[in-house]
Structure 1
């Protein structure tokens, strides 16, 4: 009887494990949800919405987003953000924002120890330098430091940067 009970318990556990594996996973948060919930990206979220990119950044992706903080936007010359948010400057805003996005999900471990130029969604490349160390940020994008890396979203990854990247 003990063997039969043990076998029955093992089969039940296997069946439950198989059902759990087939159950829908928690949907989690996408890139926009994470940025909006953080509180340090209100300017970025407003810019994404003004540029009409919210739906794109909620799509399956995957994307890698170099996300400038509100402090990074505040460091731009006075009036720059307000000007970019105007409807007549939408194309320029889209160009700047898509310059912060890479197709695919790139984590910091993918770039550590190397320097590479990577094409952005905007079309130009950014220089990703993962050779920093003891006295420098571990990863830099152009002249911006990655201050928080590998924030995983359901549709990609976010890396927080301390400067707004501006395309040529």
Structure 2
């Protein structure tokens, strides 16, 4: 009886083993590909101007390469389209290509930061613009960033996952080196001593020592008259003696 049951189950067992052998193994999860910053910004839907500037200055490729080849990660403070629209007319057109590149790099921190990190970070925080740093202050859940020209809140997360954080900001971060108040140029020095200056328009030039005023001629006339009287007086005395 038992052998009969085993013979009946044998075809079923053989079919199950064959089916399992032919079933392909589940593929291993693929590793995530390199991050693309402009692709992430495009999904945000409010960074059209920023994406255009990144493409025009050719630094989008530079940022992607650095992000995918550094263990420290990166943090981007991304101005929205409203932020660019609120700039004074001609603010961007007045910059040359190098200055535009520096302005964009000023929005990129050289490490991955969470909002919590930015509340306690040591200022100034280094950016890819080199010596141009940013200052962060935090209170409760609010983080503010200051450039010395503008201050804006940082609280809108586009992405906060290592190695990349992107936070939307509603103002363009204007560095003092490009948009700060510059001291006025000193007034030009006088070209020579005051005694050598030419007379101003409408002024009468000073008279030379050799020039004589009408008063001088008036004084000279009496002196000539007195001399003539003395000559006539001596002449009369001499005539009286001889006669």
1:1-40 counterparts in 2 under 5 A? 20=28, 23-27=29-33, 29-40=35-46
In structure 2, C-alpha distance between the alignment counterparts of 1:157 and 1:109, rounded to whole Å:
12
Determine which of 76, 80, 100 is the counterpart of 2:87: 76
Mapped pair 1:92 → 2:99:
yes
In structure 1, C-alpha distance between the alignment counterparts of 2:166 and 2:143, rounded to whole Å:
13
In structure 2, C-alpha distance between the alignment counterparts of 1:165 and 1:44, rounded to whole Å:
12
Determine which of 50, 57, 82 is the counterpart of 1:51: 57
Q: What is the deviation of 1:114?
A: 5.6
Asked if the contact 2:44/2:158 (under 8 Å) is kept, the reply is no
Q: What is aligned with 1:128?
A: 136
Q: What is aligned with 2:75?
A: 64
Aligned residues: 142
Q: What is aligned with 1:10?
A: none
Determine which of 100, 112, 119 is the counterpart of 1:105: 112
In structure 1, C-alpha distance between the alignment counterparts of 2:124 and 2:57, rounded to whole Å:
26
Determine which of 111, 118, 137 is the counterpart of 2:125: 118
Q: What is the deviation of 1:149?
A: 2.8
Q: What is aligned with 1:138?
A: 142
Mapped pair 1:158 → 2:159:
no
Q: What is aligned with 2:47?
A: 41
- In structure 1, the gaps of 5 or more residues are 1-15
Bigger-Rg structure (1/2) = 2
Higher relative contact order (CA 8 A, sep 6+): 1
Query: Cα deviation per residue 1:72-121 (whole Å; 9 max; x = unaligned)?
Result: 1111001334x16xxx8210110100000111211112123566320111
Asked if the contact 2:136/2:145 (under 8 Å) is kept, the reply is yes
In structure 1, C-alpha distance between the alignment counterparts of 2:114 and 2:144, rounded to whole Å:
13
Q: What is aligned with 1:3?
A: none
More strand by share: 1
Mapped pair 1:147 → 2:155:
yes
TM-score (norm 1): 0.73
Asked if the contact 1:64/1:102 (under 8 Å) is kept, the reply is yes
CA RMSD of aligned residues (A): 2.6
